[in-house]
Amino acid sequence: MQTSAGSRLKTFMLESRRVLAITRKPTKAEFFTIVKVTGIGIILIGLIGFLLQLARNLFL
């Protein structure tokens, strides 16, 4: 049995409202921790990509 698009939309809206009800604004310390971890991740992925590209250019 398939659900209608309207039913799926209603379910999505109810679930979204529930999630928004329990979320809160992060503290300054939490925000800066998230920024640091995200920045480190971006730098690491960029470094890995750079090293792979460098190795590809040197050895191929």
Mean pLDDT, residues 4-9 taken together: 87
Q: Which tokens is 7 given? A: 């039913």
* Confidence (pTM): 0.63
11 pLDDT exceeds 90? yes
Determine the pLDDT at residue 1. Answer: 52
Mean pLDDT, residues 1-23 taken together: 88
Among the residues of the chain, which ranges form H helices? 5-22, 28-59
Q: Which tokens is 41 given? A: 């991740």
How many angstroms separate the CA atoms of 39 and 43, rounded? Answer: 6
**pLDDT digit string (tens) for 16-37?**
999 999 999 999 999 999 999 9
Q: What angle do CA 39, 40, 45 make, to 5 degrees?
A: 100
- What rounded mean pLDDT belongs to the chain? 93
Determine the pLDDT at residue 54. Answer: 96
